A and B are shown apart, each in its own frame.
Chain A
Amino acid sequence: MLRGRSFVGSGSLFISELSVLFRRRRTWAMLSTISLIPIFLAIAVALSGSALPPGEGPPFLDRVSQNGLFVGFTAMIMAIPLFLPLTVGVVAGDTIAGEASTGTLRYLLIAPVNRAKLLFVKFLGAAAFSIAATFTLMITGIIIGVILFPVGPVTLLSGDVVSIPQALLRIFLVAIYVTISLLGLSAIGLFISTLTVIPVGAMAATVVVSTVSQILGTLPQLESIHPYLLSYYWLGFADLLRNPMDLGSMASNALLQLSYIAIFGSLAYSRFTSKDILS
């Protein structure tokens, strides 16, 4: 019998975590909604004809009708500020608080699972969702782009032209870049999730954090702290679309996100391992 039974049966807590996460209707609803972003974008461009002058609307929008491979990039730029943090906030905010609110947390802990291990597995689950979200968006973007528009070699921001396989590699790297961008937020969500037994509260707070970070990032008075903001490199993947490829912002972003993971991971650890489980 397939039905995911043998899947769960054979694995560790991490496989079980993925299985529980991806058998929830909510997870699929969020991934489906994410896939609608490139679909709507492509349809809107296709319907409006090719008359959009360069520089209007989101970056790359003017190129979409000439080359379907740009659908994914454009949709990603549209999804980064709100939609992706929203879905990641839902998953990360739910990690511990969701288990606490249903009472399953106490049964996991007396199974017994080590609290630190549970926390780690929950973080990996949120990271897995981030990967699923960015790749769902990119892959849907490619598919709808191929269906609705001509596809050919891609002109990069530096003016160089790269072949289709090269362009697909860049698309893959952008999806990785955005996934990394969401890891810091996942860690913050995990920490907030250890503070409450009300999952919606933790989800909302996590989304608020991402929004506040982006708002602070627009205030020139706070320029000195901008490089430390969670969202500082979120839109920095344009560097991957130049020739030669500039991996500098990828590295800085990874370092920044790693710092957030270290800080909020430790906070979550110290909070969760000493907490009374009363739900």
Chain B
Amino acid sequence: MGSLVDPEYAIYTQGLTKSFGSHNAVDHIDLRVPKGSIFGFLGPNGSGKTTTIRALLALANISSGEVSLLGYKVPEEIGLALPKVGALVEGPAFYPYLSGRDNLIRFDCADRYADPSTRLERVDQALARVGLSQAASKKVHAYSLGMKQRLGIANALLQPRELLILDEPTNGLDPQGTREVRNLIRSLASEGITIFISSHLLVEIEQICTHLAVMSMGKIVAQGSVEELSTSEIRELTITTNDCERGIQALKSIGITATATGDVLKARIPHDQVAPEVIVRVLTELNVGIKGFTLLAPTLEERFVSLTGEGFDVAR
């Protein structure tokens, strides 16, 4: 068991809980974000992602549990951790009557560790990094949502960072912009920066993440490296046939309970229960005509949905 100042982890929480009244928005979560990882923090709307991030950054008080950020205890030592952390929390926010550049200057002035003599240079570098150099002198109220999102990322990059916490950074970006952000994140990660990125869409971040945690109703329901989470013990069996009844009988004889919809039989079986050739042999022996046959591990996406539920309603 890692100690609170375990240098392996950029973010480490133990039983982190944040409640609003009697409702636990974040419910005893144990986050383990390894240094150098690109950590995807997944969960549907209202599952507690932003609330967790607020607690990590000491914007909100912790109800119970322990948090360490880059080895510093939160909230006691947050002032030591924050200069090394860039963050986007619940979308970007700016002074609409100031230009993009002046907004970054404003936030940099608030950073008590920032060197004023390099301020303008750093601001312009950050703007260039997110492709906003051309629009830097435009007032933010004239920015599109995607431009604001980029400016928010630029704000997180005003200083060399060890950790970036990005809450839904691709929200509002077009496919091109999403790709650019993904590439930016890859290049930042290649510089050794740990990236913690929240999203409610697995497809948005699946390709870049090395680790994932899945939140549902304030709890972490899965966490680990992408390989660990992709190795599933369950296989999905799909058989297309015009003789469903006999097909079900045949599968039952080898211990598989299948359900039929139209001319499709479906079943979920443990990966080592029975080999595919055995299933096919049993079906042909009983003269069940096979028009299609697949035995697949579920995709990460399907597992994500099975963990968090698919309904449209927000959990709470």
Chain A residues engaging chain B, CB cutoff 8 angstroms: 4-5, 8-13, 15-16, 20, 23-25, 102-104, 106-114, 117-118, 274, 276-278
Nearest CB in chain A: distance from B95 CB, A: 6
Asked if B54 contacts A108 (CB within 8 A), the reply is: no
Docked complex: B61-86 residues within 8 A CB-CB of A: 61, 78-79, 82-83, 85
Instruction: Name which residue of chain A comes closest to B51, CB basis.
Output: A278
Asked if B120 contacts A9 (CB within 8 A), the reply is: yes
| Interface membership of B192, Cβ < 8 A | no
Asked if B107 contacts A108 (CB within 8 A), the reply is: yes
Asked if A111 contacts B119 (CB within 8 A), the reply is: no
> Which of B95, B101, B119 is within 8 Å of A102, CB to CB?
B95
The 10 A-B pairs with the shortest beta carbon distances in the complex, nearest first, are: A103-B93, A16-B109, A112-B82, A111-B110, A111-B111, A113-B110, A277-B59, A276-B60, A108-B110, A8-B105
A23 and B96 CA atoms in complex are apart in Å by 11
Q: Number of B residues contacting the other chain (C-beta, 8 Å)? A: 35
CB neighbours of B61 from chain A (8 A): 274, 276
CB neighbours of B111 from chain A (8 A): 111-113
Q: A114-B79, A274-B61 are in contact. Are A107 and B107 (CB under 8 A)?
A: yes
A152 and B299 CA atoms in complex are apart in Å by 90
Asked if A25 contacts B57 (CB within 8 A), the reply is: no
Q: A16-B105, A110-B89, A274-B61 are in contact. Are A24 and B112 (CB under 8 A)?
A: no
Asked if B112 contacts A9 (CB within 8 A), the reply is: no
Nearest CB in chain B: distance from A21 CB, A: 11
17 A-B pairs, CB-CB below 8 angstroms? A9-B105, A13-B109, A102-B93, A104-B93, A104-B94, A107-B89, A110-B87, A111-B108, A111-B111, A111-B112, A112-B79, A112-B83, A112-B112, A274-B61, A276-B60, A276-B61, A277-B60
Asked if B119 contacts A9 (CB within 8 A), the reply is: yes
CB neighbours of A24 from chain B (8 A): 97
A276 and B91 CA atoms in complex are apart in Å by 18
A109 and B107 CA atoms in complex are apart in Å by 9
Asked if A110 contacts B85 (CB within 8 A), the reply is: yes
| Interface membership of B198, Cβ < 8 A | no
A274 and B59 CA atoms in complex are apart in Å by 10
Nearest CB in chain B: distance from A175 CB, A: 28
